């Protein structure tokens, strides 16, 4: 690892890798340091069964922001997937709603759809009037369809709705067309970034920006540079696991704390037999009057894998209960949909734990009520020495695409300061 360079990039997820690529194009020297044993960050795939992959983090490969958002930031990994001959399939599945062990009838289905529409309209009206309250303040919590809506939003936000900013949700950039990739989105990102020189297992202990240069102390030694691009999560920054000398300005810390990490986790369950009929694949919401509900993807791309999503406080609590409890919860929800006989074919499971992952401390960032405006401060650099990238700083926040383009933005900002544009 070089001990002196123009730019030190902290983190080798999508943002850090894209910053490295852009700096290479601009002729700026850099060193990338990564705390974990791998690249990719929250893009990470594991083999759940022979040649069957499960994405622990991002799993849905969007083409880019919806055209109505007028953000020209397409997803570079789509073209890379095509170049690599990756097997991809657009997410065009039916939605299913199961309450108390049975599908909603026609009138119930219409009532549920109307309730969801009313919730979205209430959020729109509130935000367009200039408010930024908690989403829970805007919806009818007594509706029989409040439970599945809150379960869904706890994954999407990803917080319970009393902790979720209505403005942050409303202004989230919608993804335009979404695909699944058979051998894992995380694997695709790792393959894309494999040729970058990254120092792994090099957690950053301190960033000293008090002098003319910046000195970054890592577990593998110190590096001197003219600038730093910091791509670590808001969770790591808020916890102050990296010691900045001097400390980050109050305005920057206020923004980081106002847009904390949310909690979304997944349980992937593989089934050892072909237990799903052709029409079973798709998206499900399952809930009851007595048990915690869930948001479920079934047998996408005919992999015999079911993904059960959890969000908010329940997700945090389930991490504390351990992997076996999470697995049992997932299998119970799957059995609510397909019956108890399906338990006989349960194979290996993978349970995520992003809230306690030391390198992320959460899934992705989400503003607290009344704090959406603080997002504007997240991408701002400090003293022409510290620059920031990552999904929290992106216009299309919470996405790999957004993280990628935030890295490009930060690299260009650095190059401008260094006179290399």
**pLDDT, tens only, 137-148:** 999 999 999 999
Percent of the chain whose pLDDT exceeds 70: 97
79: pLDDT confidence band, cut at 50, 70 and 90? confident
285 and 306 housed in the same domain: yes
What is the pLDDT averaged over residues 325-344?
97
Would you give the DSSP letter of residue 259? S
* CB contact at 8 A, 157 and 135: yes
| pLDDT surpasses 70 at 69 | no
What is the pLDDT averaged over residues 396-412?
94
Give the residue numbers spanning the domain of 203.
4-40+193-260+365-417
Q: What is the pLDDT, as a whole number, of residue 70?
A: 55
The distance between the two most distant Cα atoms of the chain, rounded to a whole number of Å, is 68
The number of folded domains in the chain is 2
Q: What is the pLDDT, as a whole number, of residue 307?
A: 98
Mean residue pLDDT across the chain? 94
* CB contact at 8 A, 367 and 255: no
What is the pLDDT averaged over residues 144-162?
94
Q: What is the pLDDT, as a whole number, of residue 302?
A: 92
What is the pLDDT averaged over residues 133-157?
95
99 and 163 housed in the same domain: yes
Minimum mean pLDDT among 99-103, 346-350, 381-385: which range?
99-103
Residues in a beta bridge with 95: 283
Last-in-domain residue among 303, 324, 351 = 351
1: pLDDT confidence band, cut at 50, 70 and 90? low
| pLDDT surpasses 60 at 311 | yes
Instruction: Tell me how far apart the alpha carbons of residues 410 and 381 are, in angstroms, rounded to a whole number.
Output: 9
104 and 130 housed in the same domain: yes
* CB contact at 8 A, 204 and 242: yes
Nearest to 4, CA basis, from 35, 29, 34: 29
Q: Identify which has the larger pLDDT, 65 or 260.
A: 260
pLDDT tens digits, 257-270: 999 999 999 999 99
Residues in a beta bridge with 296: 284, 308
CA distance to 124, 134, 140, 225, 292, per residue, from 170 (Å): 7, 12, 18, 39, 26
20: pLDDT confidence band, cut at 50, 70 and 90? very high
71: pLDDT confidence band, cut at 50, 70 and 90? low
Last-in-domain residue among 351, 377, 398 = 351
Instruction: Tell me how far apart the alpha carbons of residues 111 and 105 are, in angstroms, rounded to a whole number.
Output: 10
pLDDT tens digits, 22-34: 999 999 999 999 9
Instruction: Tell me how far apart the alpha carbons of residues 417 and 128 are, in angstroms, rounded to a whole number.
Output: 37
Last-in-domain residue among 302, 324, 351 = 351
Residues in CB range of 146: below 8 A, 6 or more apart: 115, 139, 140
- Could you tell me whether strands 214-218 and 204-208 are parallel, antiparallel, or unpaired per DSSP bridges? antiparallel
CA distance to 62, 181, 191, 297, per residue, from 59 (Å): 9, 8, 15, 11
Minimum mean pLDDT among 42-56, 167-181, 229-243: which range?
167-181
333 and 396 housed in the same domain: no
Residues in CB range of 142: below 8 A, 6 or more apart: none
Q: What is the pLDDT, as a whole number, of residue 396?
A: 85
283 and 412 housed in the same domain: no
66: pLDDT confidence band, cut at 50, 70 and 90? low
**C-alpha torsion sign, points 234, 156, 47, 40:** negative
């Amino acid at each position: 690892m070089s001990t002196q360079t123009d730019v030190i990039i902290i983190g080798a997820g999508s943002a850090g890798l894209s910053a490295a690529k852009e700096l290479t194009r601009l002729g700026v020297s850099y060193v990338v340091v990564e705390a974990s044993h791998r690249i990719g960050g929250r893009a990470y795939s594991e083999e759940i069964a022979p040649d069957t992959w499960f994405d622990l983090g991002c799993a849905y490969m969007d083409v880019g922001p919806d055209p109505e958002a007028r953000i020209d930031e397409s997803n570079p990994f789509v073209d890379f997937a095509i170049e690599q001959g990756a097997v991809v399939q657009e997410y065009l599945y039916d939605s299913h709603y199961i309450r108390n062990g049975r599908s909603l009838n026609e009138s119930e289905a219409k009532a549920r759809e109307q309730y969801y529409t009313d919730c979205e309209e209430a959020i729109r009206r509130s935000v367009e009037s200039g408010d930024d309250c908690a989403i829970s303040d805007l919806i009818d919590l007594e509706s029989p369809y409040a439970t599945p809506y809150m379960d869904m939003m706890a994954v999407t936000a990803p917080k319970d709705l009393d902790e979720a900013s209505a403005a942050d949700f409303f202004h989230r950039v919608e993804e335009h067309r979404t695909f699944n990739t058979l051998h894992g989105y995380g694997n695709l990102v790792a393959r894309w970034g494999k040729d970058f020189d990254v120092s792994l297992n090099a957690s950053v202990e301190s960033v000293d920006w008090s002098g003319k240069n910046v000195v970054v102390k890592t577990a593998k030694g110190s590096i001197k540079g003219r600038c730093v691009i910091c791509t670590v999560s808001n969770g790591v920054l808020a916890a102050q696991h990296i010691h900045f000398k001097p400390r980050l300005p109050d305005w920057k810390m206020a923004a980081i704390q106002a847009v904390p990490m949310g909690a979304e986790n997944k349980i992937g369950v593989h089934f050892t037999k072909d237990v799903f009929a052709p029409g079973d694949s798709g998206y499900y919401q399952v809930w009851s009057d007595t048990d915690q509900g869930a948001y479920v993807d079934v047998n996408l791309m005919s992999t015999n894998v079911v993904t059960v999503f959890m969000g908010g406080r329940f997700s945090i609590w389930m991490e504390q209960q351990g992997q076996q409890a999470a697995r049992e919860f997932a299998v119970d929800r799957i059995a609510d949909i397909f019956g108890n006989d399906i338990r006989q074919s349960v194979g290996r499971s993978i349970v995520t734990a992003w809230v306690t992952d030391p390198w992320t401390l959460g899934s992705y960032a989400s503003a607290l009520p009344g704090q959406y405006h603080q997002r504007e401060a997240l991408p701002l650099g400090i003293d022409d020495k510290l620059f920031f990238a990552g999904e929290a700083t992106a216009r299309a926040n919470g996405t790999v695409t957004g993280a990628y383009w935030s890295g490009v933005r930060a690299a260009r900002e650095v190059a401008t300061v260094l006179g290399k544009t």
